[in-house]
Structure formats: structure tokens, C-alpha cells
Chains A and B, each alone.
Chain A
Amino acid sequence: MITEVLIYGILVSIVSGILSYFVVSRNVEFAGVGISHAAFGGVAIAMVLGINPVWFLLVFTPIVGILIASSPRNLSENTAIGILFPFFMSLGIILIYLSQQNLSLVWSYLFGNIFLVGRGDFFLFLLVGTLVVLYVLLFFRQLVFTSFSRELARAYGVNTTFINYSFMVILSLGIVVSIKMLGIVLLSAFLVLPASISFLVSRGVLRSFLFTLVFSVLMSVLGILASYWMDLPSGASIVVVGTLIYLIFYLIRRP
């Protein structure tokens, strides 16, 4: 049981580590928070409609991602997120209140539990995870360049609009398939912590990318083991372990 969970945890952490690298380097941490929390509204709509929330989220969250990416020029992406995130959270709360839904199911989406992930979830994750990896392999140079500076990337002929929109869609899909493990509330930490730890201790594009993956896997494995041995909630354990790793490196890094 624990081996299967660890394998799943490692695979999820590789995908979220990849996303974390670009979320942090592109300064769109709040987008990760916004999309995952807006997904709560999607879960509630799916429950009321009686359809599988994960399948519904695969359509719903990319739409939220596109809405964020297409915010008008005079409003920043953060403004769009600041509007969409509480709107969909509120919509979710109202729908769940009105429909008298089973709160334990809602709880599982909010806080996640890797020990309750089924085979169907796993295969869906493999499918979407492969898509994320393929996308990054295909557009790595453009993603790195636009993360560094969109203006410079545009001047050198990169289609920054395509990269911006496609990344938001891929980020949304990655968020959906990681929700079961980490939950809506804690997932954003998983999108921020690995790259933040890596950027504290490494320099260079490739090296910091590899370090992000290493830290993502490390916090996931240690968090799952802690949760297994001490019978603690898995998502919360992973986030606490990740935050402790961040603090340790923050304190010992060279000034």
C-alpha cells in the first residue's frame, strides 16, 4: 500500500515540481492559488449536477486559467485572480449549502488524501502528467525565455501570447489531477515551495530546474512517510515538511 502511495506521490511531485518551476519564475504564484481555489466552485457545480468532479474540473479549471490569462491590459492578472478566486469559492459554498451535500466529500477535495486515491484517478493522472511533461519538453526554451522576460522573448520572436495561454491551461490541468492528493487549499503550497527552495540554493536555469524536481520529490516522500508513520493527514504533512525544508535552507543559505 505505502509503496503504491509513494510511487504516486513521486509522480505527482515531479509534475507539480515542473509546474512550480514556471509558476515561481513567472511570478504567477497567485494564479496557482486562484485556479486551485476556483476549482472548489467547480467541485460544487459537479456535485450538484451529479457528475464526477474531476472530469468536470478538467474542463472547468482550464477555462478559469484562460480567463485569468486574458485579463484586460489595464488590469493585472492578479486583479482577475482576486475577482475569480473568491467568486468561485463563494459560489461553491452557496451551492453546497443549498444542496445539503455530504461534507466529508467536500472536505476530501479541500484537503486531499493520497491514501484514498483510486486506480481511475491514477490513470487520469498518468495521462495528464504525460501531457504536462510533453508540453514542457516541447516548449522548454520558450517557457524559460518568457519566464525571464516576456518583452525580450517577444523581441526575439517567441509567440508569448501562445506560451502564456497554453501554460495557464497546462497549469490548470496539472492542478486538477493533483487535487486528490494535496487538496485545493494545500495545493498552492506545492506549486510554490519546491521552486522557492531551489531558487534559494541554486543558480543557473538547468540546475535550478533539476533542484526544483529534487526538492519536490523530497518533500513529497518525507511528507507521505511522516503521514503514514504518525497517522496524520497526508496533504498537510507534505506541506509542513516542505515549509520546514524551506526554513532550513533559508537559514543556512549563504548571505
Chain B
Amino acid sequence: MAGKKLILRVKDLSVVLDGRKILENISFELYEGEILAVLGPNGAGKSTLLKAILGMVPYTGEVYLAPGYRPGYIPQALVDMGKLPATARDVITMGFRNYSKEKVMEAARKLDIESHLDNLFVNLSGGLKQRTLIAKALVYGSRILLLDEPTSNLDIQSQKRFYSILKDLKEKEKISAIMVSHDLGVVTSYADRVLCLNVRMFYHGKPGKELNIDLIRKVYGHDVGVIIHDH
């Protein structure tokens, strides 16, 4: 990977929670402006991988983040939301000590949520909630986004919008992302590299011909079917 800057290296990462092996010897690298798709069945440890990178779960092995590359986390859904009547603007700046109003507006412009900033976050659509959380990551100064199944709760229109935003951020701002996904079509269209895992790693590389039905069956189990569609 000459010429590209290494921003994340995960080496021999293993996670054991409540005596159960969740992840075993996961190793991969992520370079600036790259999108890495993480594929695997439910319970494969995909979300735990993101949480280990964020330091939210104990792990063994190495997680190296290049200095200044703070990850921004965009969960699948905020299941533990309290009753705080927070606006989208509140959510973007929540927890941050130093931020400028200009930076908030700039992020809101990029994510096209300017007209929703004073709306209650809880009343926003799934797509707007997600874009608000990406804006939050940008205001935080994140150059690497950790997206947990970002399109699973979105309608087709919002999914298209999401991928076009992700592409813009990658191409114009050189922002990298790790995206947990189930959608093979998306992986081949948008991801630079793919990590297939089910507790242990089955494949790490470009989404080329190695990412075939045999590999998918190995990762997901033998009774899986694959539907190919365009993105």
C-alpha cells in the first residue's frame, strides 16, 4: 500500500466476553480514504469489532490508530436513548468542549441537515438521525467513521443518499470508514476492501473474484442464498 497513509492497524485482536469467544485473531489494516466492509452473519462479532477499536470492550492484541485519527461511531440505532429533548444541533455538539459554530454549520451543510438542526432528534427519520451522527463525528474531527449496519433501518431512497454521502466524504475529504454490512452488492460497489468474519477471519482483501459464493457459504453457513443486484 505504498503512497497511502496507514491510519488503523488491527493485529491478532481477540475478544472474550462472559467466557465466550466473540472474536479470534483478527488482523487488518485501513488506509486513508478507504472503505472497509465487514461481512458476516449475526453474532459473528462484527459490532464487537467496532467496539474493540473504540475501546468499549476489553480485548487482547493490538489496535493502532494513527495520531490524530479519532474514530467517530455511528451505531445501528440508539436503543438506550433517554427522554432528553435534545435537538439535532444538541446531539452534534453533545459532550464536546471545544467546537465552533462554523464547524457545526459546515458539517450540517455537508450532510444536508441544516434545515433540521433545531428539530428534536427523536422525531427525525432514520436517515436524518444517521446523518446527524455522521455530522457529529465530523465536528469531533473524526477522519475514520465506524458504521454499524448503516443501511439496515433505511428505505431505498435514504440508502442511496447515505452511499452518495459516504462516497463524497471518501473522495473529497479522504475520510475512511469501516462499515458493517450484509449487502454484498454494496460491498462490491463501494468498499475498497472486505473483511469476512465469523468469530475468526475468513477473508481480507479486495472485493474481487475471491469473494465468491463458496466463501460466503463458508462464512454464513451452507444454507445461504446470494442475490446479485446492482448499486
Interface residues of A (CB under 8 A from B): 24-27, 141-142, 144-145, 147-158, 199, 202-205, 208
B83-96 vs A, CB cutoff 8 Å, 1 = contact: the mask equals 11111011100111
| B85 CB contacts on chain A under 8 angstroms | 199, 202-205, 208
Closest B-chain residue to A208, C-beta based? Answer: B85
Complex-state Cα separation, A24 to B73, whole angstroms? 26
| B86 CB contacts on chain A under 8 angstroms | 144, 148, 204-205
Q: How many residues of B contact A (CB 8 A)?
A: 27
22 CB < 8 A contacts A-B? A141-B94, A141-B95, A144-B84, A145-B94, A147-B84, A149-B78, A151-B78, A151-B80, A153-B95, A154-B54, A155-B54, A155-B56, A156-B73, A156-B95, A156-B140, A199-B83, A202-B85, A203-B85, A203-B118, A203-B120, A204-B86, A208-B84
11 new A-B contacts, CB < 8 A, other than A155-B75, A157-B55, A158-B95, are A27-B82, A27-B83, A147-B82, A148-B82, A149-B81, A151-B78, A151-B79, A151-B80, A154-B54, A156-B95, A204-B86
| A208 CB contacts on chain B under 8 angstroms | 84-85
Say yes or no: A148 contacts B91, CB within 8 Å: yes
| A152 CB contacts on chain B under 8 angstroms | 73, 75, 78, 133
Say yes or no: A144 contacts B78, CB within 8 Å: no
**Smallest Cβ distance from B37 to chain A, in angstroms?**
20
B82 CB contact (under 8 Å) in A26, A142, A155: A26
Complex-state Cα separation, A147 to B84, whole angstroms? 7
| A199 CB contacts on chain B under 8 angstroms | 83, 85
Say yes or no: A25 contacts B78, CB within 8 Å: no
**Smallest Cβ distance from A253 to chain B, in angstroms?**
12
Complex-state Cα separation, A91 to B51, whole angstroms? 43
Complex-state Cα separation, A248 to B12, whole angstroms? 61
| A142 CB contacts on chain B under 8 angstroms | 95
**Smallest Cβ distance from A193 to chain B, in angstroms?**
14
Complex-state Cα separation, A145 to B90, whole angstroms? 10
| A157 CB contacts on chain B under 8 angstroms | 55
Closest A-chain residue to B137, C-beta based? Answer: A156
Given A26-B82, A141-B97: A154 and B91 within 8 A (CB)? no
Q: Which 3 A-B pairs have the closest CB atoms?
A: A155-B73, A145-B95, A25-B84
Complex-state Cα separation, A25 to B90, whole angstroms? 14
B94 CB contact (under 8 Å) in A26, A144, A154: A144
Complex-state Cα separation, A148 to B84, whole angstroms? 6
Complex-state Cα separation, A204 to B93, whole angstroms? 12
**Smallest Cβ distance from A40 to chain B, in angstroms?**
27
A204 CB contact (under 8 Å) in B51, B75, B90, B97: B90
Closest B-chain residue to A204, C-beta based? Answer: B87
Which residues of B in the span 47-91 have a Cβ within 8 Å of any Cβ on A?
51, 54-56, 73, 75, 78-87, 89-91
Say yes or no: A25 contacts B56, CB within 8 Å: no
Complex-state Cα separation, A202 to B87, whole angstroms? 11
| A25 CB contacts on chain B under 8 angstroms | 82-84
**Smallest Cβ distance from A106 to chain B, in angstroms?**
34
Closest A-chain residue to B97, C-beta based? Answer: A141
Centre residue among A142, A149, A151, A154 by max chain B CB count within 10 A: A149
| A24 CB contacts on chain B under 8 angstroms | 83
Closest B-chain residue to A201, C-beta based? Answer: B85
| B81 CB contacts on chain A under 8 angstroms | 148-149
Complex-state Cα separation, A151 to B120, whole angstroms? 19
| B140 CB contacts on chain A under 8 angstroms | 156
Complex-state Cα separation, A141 to B84, whole angstroms? 13
**Smallest Cβ distance from B39 to chain A, in angstroms?**
22
Say yes or no: A149 contacts B82, CB within 8 Å: yes
Centre residue among A24, A26, A203 by max chain B CB count within 10 A: A203
